Amino acid sequence: MAIPSVLKLDTVTKQFFPDVPPAVNQVSLALGQGELLGLLGPSGCGKTTLLRLIAGFEQPDRGTIYLEGQAVCGSCWLPPEHRDLGIVFQDYALFPHLSVEKNVAFGLKQLSRRGRLSSQQIREQTADAIVLVGLKGFEARYPHELSGGQQQRVALARALAPRPSLVLLDEPFSNLDVQVRLYLRQEVRDILKKVGASGVFVTHDQEEALSIADQVAVMRDGRLEQLGTPESIYSEPASRFIAEFVTQANFLSARRSARGWETEVGCFELTVAPCAGAEAAHRVDSGALMIRQEDLHLEIDDSAPLFVRDRQFLGREYKYSLLTPSGATLHARMPISQPIDIGSHVRPSLKSQQVRLYPQEVVARYGSTAPSDSSTRSVA
């Protein structure tokens, strides 16, 4: 049975200036009841603008947004305060002169003035929201008396207290240190799932999006590049941009020969699957092989073409930076039980015998728009 849509976008477009491309360009998607959607993309891709359009802080130039089946823009306009949304801002936006309890109750009092809630209901829903986020006993404290993680919980409680149909979160964990961020993002997911709330959150952190979202929408230059489950986004990227940005994969120029796939670092016997952007007319005997970091295995060999330029200790594994004969950089992740010294020459092999191929025509069409640092440099 199909899950009813809480949110639906139909070709939504927003252009701030006539002489520049749209910030959001014909985006269409749907979010089911109880699902979490991660808007993922690099800075300037349009994800925050899209969130603001959903919230009603911006009006689209074209397209329609539906909340629980009702159009809130397009042929009509529903202001933010009437959209039944909870919003968690990046800087939390707590009132410094109000206690935790009064911050959480703030939105509920607006509903009371419209006759939708009684004073007793405000007290009950405020108390329920505070308990839900684990802050019982902190009701009388002020924001400056709380840690960053606790302030984030207050902001979430305030968003959830009116029991909205949809919660919007704008990079909610970016101001927290790593350990708190890792813990709190799972806690937020658990809280939203517990109350059956639907949510949309903006992030530029690939791991964050893949770990807590039910659906991931990858954006690029205002357009929706791919929408799918975290598993499908990671395992079947629709474009080279997604493969680079989300999976941080290596790309290695290759040409098929009688021996296999010839590259500058060796010949591999592989089964290749053309990427989603490849059309039937494209040659599938040359292009760029997409090789994930975890699929690259290394063996020390003084005559091998790859040179270990650097090694990073990541706890459970090492991440190696490898220099190819052409001067490009590849990356590999290996267990700490098999350390390789910096300065060693290594011969690569592939753990997976099936990889994705980006034919030369697709490489030229999509190009590479990932940041131009050594971690994403392409060999193609």
User: Looking up tokens 């809130």, which residue turns up?
Assistant: 72
Give the domain range for residue 334: 241-366
Q: Is 378 helix (H, G, I), strand (E, B) or coil?
A: coil
d(CA 66, CA 56): 12
Judge whether 250 and 328 are in contact, CB under 8 Å.
Answer: no
Does residue 354 belong to any structural domain of this protein?
Answer: yes
3-state percent breakdown (helix, strand, coil) of the chain, nearest 5:
25, 30, 40
Question: Are both 206 and 326 inside the same structural domain?
Answer: no
- Shared domain for 193 and 247, answered yes or no, is no
230 and 269 within one domain:
no
3 state DSSP class of 206: helix
What would the two tokens of residue 350 be?
A: 């592939």
Residue 280 has pLDDT above 90, yes or no: no
pLDDT tens per residue, range 217-229: 999 999 999 999 9
Question: Are 138 and 151 contacting, i.e. CB atoms less than 8 angstroms apart?
Answer: no
Do the Cβ atoms of 64 and 10 come closer than 8 Å? yes
Per the prediction, the chain carries an average pLDDT of: 88
- Spatial separation of the C-alpha atoms in residues 339 and 85, rounded to whole Å: 51
Query: Would you place residue 308 in the very low, low, confident or very high pLDDT band (cuts 50, 70, 90)?
Result: very high
- How large is the average pLDDT for residues 228-242? 92
The answer on 324 and 216 residing in a single domain is no
Q: What is the DSSP letter of 277?
A: T
State whether 89 and 209 are in the same domain: yes
Burial code (b: 16+ CB inside 10 Å, e: under 16) for 91-102 equals ebebeeeebbbb
Q: How does pLDDT run across 8-56, given as a tens digit for each residue?
A: 999 999 999 999 999 999 999 999 999 999 999 999 999 999 999 999 9
Q: DSSP letters of 228-261? A: E-HHHHHHS-SSHHHHHHTT--EEEEEEE-SSSE
The sheet that has 345-350: what strands, in order across it? 296-300, 345-350, 306-313, 317-323, 329-335
Q: How many C-beta neighbours within 10 Å does residue 224 have?
A: 21
**Is it the case that residue 175 has pLDDT exceeding 90?**
no
Same domain flag for 94 and 215: yes
Q: Are residues 219 and 101 in the same domain?
A: yes
Confidence of residue 360 (pLDDT cuts 50, 70, 90): low
Q: Of 217, 235, 253, which residue sits at a domain end?
A: 235
Q: Are 54 and 98 members of one domain?
A: yes
The answer to whether residue 136 is domain-embedded is yes
Q: What is the pLDDT of residue 361?
A: 52
Q: For 89-107, how does the pLDDT look when each residue is reduced to its tens digit (9 = 90+)?
A: 888 889 999 999 999 999 8
Of the three residues 235, 253, 271, the one that is the final residue of a domain is 235
Distance between alpha carbon 353 and the CA centroid of its chain, in Å? 28
User: Could you tell me if residue 32 is inside a domain?
Assistant: yes
Q: Return the residue matching tokens 């030229």.
A: 364
In a domain, 374, yes or no: no
Residue with tokens 């599938």: 284
Give 253-300 as a 3 state SS string.
EEEECCCCEEECCEEECCEEEECCCCCCCCCCCEEEEEECHHHEEEEE
Number of domains forming the structure of the chain:
2
> pTM of the full predicted structure?
0.85
Nearest partner of 296 among 346, 245, 253, 357, judged by Cα: 346
In the predicted structure, residue 377 carries a pLDDT above the cut 70: no
Asked if residue 208 has pLDDT above 60, the reply is yes
- Can you give the CATH number for the domain in which 121 is found? 3.40.50.300
Q: Are residues 220 and 273 in the same domain?
A: no
